Structure 1
């Protein structure tokens, strides 16, 4: 099979070729490995090639909706038994995992041939993918820019044609942000629909969920069918719609009422191309018979939500760093400076501060529930700025020196009194102020690649749905994809 033929198909399309005996799983795996060899040195999306494990899979019968399709998993919270899950950290590069994550096992049961792991920032703690241990991943559309994060490696691999769909996860936008940066479909399921076990229960109190990035809506829907549903160690059994998510893709939704906004307190002047992405989606929606209304302001306190989100994030990161030290015996020098700074800020918060942030989520849940009494969906840009340049968020030298001094003297909690906190908030949130809402409230959300800038950069439109709204998002995404298709748009990588 030629590479140009391989790239034309989404995951289900490749699986159909295998089922019809037009190609073999070996043919497809060879194409994927060939793409890694020829393309990935310029992108750095794949941090571990698993040829031995893939070869072993090919010795067994492959069954399921994606039988024979090459697949990459994210090197964070998607454990493959016998191999390390580095989480983008030097501290975990040698610690083999004892068992498959539930989602990894479900992908294997669906017939996917897992042949590698993709790059991620340390502990997935940033919206960019530039870990010290593996180096920066680059955006296939513009290699001077980030593919986003924390699923940036997976997004770059899909956008460059290494695979049609890849594993991802999302604790603050980490499926949707790289999907927008790389021109892909990125669906964050609602809280509890997809399990995170067996090792984890509900990471970040349920804010973090598992999923994929893909080129087509039908791959995203079929993957949700593969992943959705509780397990024995789940805290509860999630409700599922009648029928499959895939069956909804070809069914237009009823006319919807959708509110939209772009201006936030965190970023009162989003980039014109970010606004254009939202407006492009709005025009398509209007042409399809939906009603789209511009809101005066976000229907929730976005400034409060984002500060609470970061406080909880920093505190969780402090716990995660300590937990890794207990498991591995490593010291602080095994972690990146930014990770140690964020963890120090988390430790400086009291238990009451942390509970205020976590329990305060219900205020935003109620505000969003009130909004959905009037509207069916909420529309924003996915990004407030163009995908940043590689290295754009490196700390300035004076702040590096000050933070190093405070970290060495174990007085890093004083960092909250310096400009570093404001800089981190700006770096982490101002270019992506829209995605955290869905994580905090546990609602499903979706980024669609509806717009390209004059310079050829993709920009996404972002939809947030009510509780249980995954099926509606899939329906609407399918309708938009038919009206304004993007699957045949490829990056400009040679």
Structure 2
């Protein structure tokens, strides 16, 4: 008996695993439902760039063991090695790269029983908040195929919003989990720095700016995936310990009464789109009805300086990655192997001196300390996730714009997320608002460092009061 799409989509990942354990569903039914949906809609959204037929065959034979046993899953095509699968970073320069090991996070996802079937689309090296690559083409938003799906985890978010998967892997170095979650009406958590492993291929991932987790339709999937992956790996440079109790169990209890600040203005004191402002104000009112103390407020720091400093670190890291790739290839990279914005950014970053590079850490520390002082007085900060609804495709093209044009457009679109990669704090985007045109808009909740559990408890409390699970893209 086959599982109809409407039946499949009625489950989140935890629900699918529970139904498989109770033998209400067979693992092959769930696998076939995901593959059927992939075949039906991926030509429209272009979310999945690689399906591993050997992994599909293996999934048909493997027992459905583990807390998420039998649930299909894809890994973003950035940062995360999967044994035998391509890892292109969304770039033609890496199109033929395959690695022979799993990252620790991927290994833990396998141990939880997830069926890892292939790769979801990423922008080139994760640079853009829209996935529109020369390698794989544009990823389209299932809510409106003329709009961006966000980035750099746009493929992951589009796959979930399109109903291919209930949840899937994503990464975030400046908002790349939260941005596509907001664009696609999903939950997207960037965990606290050090909560998840980064090895064995990376130590301090992008100087602590880079994080891994997932985009999901439910808060409990977000928590269950965190339970599956949290904790240090061997040789980790540092780690943030998970709570003694599982994240999933903690969702059964509401958070303490929290002091929550909110702002709809950017950290450079610029207004956001009226729909984004409306989303924040309505969420603030809802939080008050839940008994929390809610008042206007925002950290006082130099957002421009912090963004420039973290951007320089990320781009010089990219230049180092290019050098390593050239050593593997035994030749210099060609301009036609990289997108124009990427090529321009790397050429500029190659001119950065060691002294200039090291100086950025002092500036980052100054601004991060200022943000930290603000969180001594509040538990949570509420902002829009984005400064506008999802943009038309092409607006953030790394192939058509100059580096300066691209940076200005990207900064205007997503000014709220990157600061919390620098601080390492947990931050989550929740789908609490849709525009008059029917486009999803996320709101961002930022917690104190290490208080992922509190943030998830608050998210679950909001989800129970104003559920969104049944609201799905019209694709």
TM-score interval, normalised by the smaller of the two chains:
over 0.9
Q: Which residue of 1 aligns with 2:397?
A: 394
Distance 1:265 1:464, change over 3 A: closer
Partner of 2:418: 436
Shift of 1:11: 0.1
Please state how far the C-alpha of 1:366 moved relative to its aligned partner.
Answer: 1.4
Structure 2 partner of 1:466: 448
1:306·1:429 contact (CA, 8 Å) conserved in 2? Answer: no
Cα deviation for residue 49 of structure 1 reads: 0.8
> CA separation of 1:131/1:386 partners in 2, compared to 1, >3 Å: closer, same or farther?
same
Return closer, same or farther for 1:3/1:304 CA change in 2, 3 Å cut-off.
same
Q: State whether residues 182 and 441 of structure 2, in contact with CA within 8 Å, keep that contact through their aligned partners in structure 1.
A: yes
Which SS does the other structure have where 1:460 is aligned? Answer: strand
The corresponding residue for 1:350 is 353
Match among 86, 92, 95 for residue 94 of structure 2: 92
In the TM superposition, residue 77 of structure 1 has moved relative to its aligned partner by 1.5
After TM superposition, the structure 1 stretch with the greater mean CA deviation from structure 2, 100-109 or 312-321, is: 312-321
> Could you state the TM-score of these two structures normalised by the residue count of structure 1?
0.92
Partner secondary structure for residue 242 of structure 1: coil
The alpha-carbon distance between structure 1 residues 34 and 276, as it changes in their structure 2 partners (threshold 3 A), is: same
Alpha-carbon separation, structure 1, partners of 2:148 and 2:413: 12
Matched residue, 1:155? 157
Contact 1:332/1:340, CA 8 A, preserved across alignment: no
Instruction: Please give the secondary structure, in 1, of the residue aligned with 2:87.
Output: coil
2-side partners of 1:217 and 1:444: how far apart?
A: 14
3-state SS of paired residue (1:192): coil
Give 1:64's match in structure 2, choosing from 66, 73, 91: 66
Alignment equivalent of 1:479, drawn from 461, 468, 474 = 461
| Stretches of structure 2 lacking an aligned partner (at least 5 in a row) | none
Q: What are the Cα deviations for residues 398-456 of structure 1, in whole angstroms up to 9, with x where unaligned?
A: x76xxxxxxxxxxxxxxxxxxx53x2331221110110111011111111111111111
Q: CA deviation at 1:298?
A: 3.8
What is the rounded CA distance, in whole Å, between the counterparts of 1:6 and 1:335 in structure 2? Answer: 39
Contact 1:128 1:146 in 2 (8 A): yes
Corresponding residue SS for 1:172: coil
Give distance in 2, aligned partners of 1:267 and 1:57: 51
Alignment of 1:18-37 (within 5 A): 18-37=20-39
Partner of 1:225: 227
Q: Distance in 2 between matches of 1:395 and 1:133?
A: 12
Q: CA deviation at 1:316?
A: 1.7
Mean Cα deviation higher: 104-113 or 259-268: 259-268
Choose from 425, 447, 451 the match for 2:429: 447
User: Deviation at 1:237?
Assistant: 4.0
User: 1:269 aligns to what?
Assistant: 271
Note if contact 1:181-1:460 (Cα within 8 Å) is conserved in structure 2.
yes
Moved more, 274-283 or 357-366: 357-366
How far did residue 22 of structure 1 move? Answer: 1.2
5 Å-filtered alignment, 1:285-300, equals 285-295=287-297, 298-300=299-301
| 1:362 and 2:344 matched | no
CA distances 1:165-210 after superposition (whole Å, capped 9, x unpaired): 0000100000000000000000001111101111111221111011
Measure, in 2, the Cα distance between the counterparts of 1:473 and 1:119. Answer: 28
Secondary structure in structure 1 of the residue aligned to 2:163:
coil
- 3-state DSSP class of the match of 2:88? coil
Structure 1 residue runs of 5 or longer lacking an equivalent are 401-419
Aligned: 1:178 with 2:160: no
The correspondence for 2:77, drawn from 52, 75, 79, is 75
Q: Does 1:246 align with 2:214?
A: no
SS in 1 for 2:255: coil
| Matches for 1:202-213 after TM superposition, within 5 Å | 202-213=204-215
Q: CA deviation at 1:359?
A: 3.0
Deviation at 1:393, TM superposition (A): 2.4
Q: Deviations over 1:13-53 (max 9, x none)?
A: 00011001111111111011101110110000000011321
Say which SS state the counterpart of residue 241 (structure 1) adopts: coil
Q: 1:342 to 1:176 in 2, by over 3 A?
A: same
Using the TM superposition, name which of 336-345 and 481-490 deviates more. Answer: 336-345
Partners of 1:63 and 1:299 lie apart in 2 by: 49
Task: Specify the SS of the correspondent of 1:378.
Answer: strand
Q: CA deviation at 1:340?
A: 0.8
- For residue 117 of structure 2, give the secondary structure of its aligned residue in structure 1: strand
Q: Would you say the 8 A contact 1:77–1:101 is kept in 2?
A: no
* Residue 336 of structure 1, CA deviation: 1.3
1: CA distance, partners of 2:99 / 2:354: 31
Partner of residue 217, structure 2:
215
The Cα of 1:328 is off from its aligned counterpart by 2.7
Call closer, same or farther: CA 1:353–1:257 in 2, change over 3 Å.
same
What is the rounded CA distance, in whole Å, between the counterparts of 1:266 and 1:36 in structure 2? 41
How far apart, CA to CA, are the structure 1 residues paired with 2:7 and 2:205? 39
8 Å Cα contact 2:267/2:415 also seen in 1: no
State the partner residue of 2:343.
340
- What is the CA RMSD across the aligned residues, in angstroms? 1.6
What's the TM-score, normalizing by structure 2? 0.96
Choose 72-81 or 265-274, whichever is displaced more.
Answer: 265-274
Q: Per-residue deviation at 1:114?
A: 1.2
Tell me the secondary structure at the aligned position of residue 58 of structure 2.
helix
CA distance in 1, matches of 2:397, 2:214: 28
SS at match of 1:449: strand
For 1:153 and 1:257, the matched residues in 2 are separated by: 35
Residue aligned with 1:360, SS: helix
**Is this contact kept in 2: 1:169–1:211, CA < 8 A?**
yes
Q: Determine which of 377, 390, 395 is the counterpart of 2:380.
A: 377
Rounded Cα–Cα distance in structure 2 between residues aligned with 1:315 and 1:275: 35
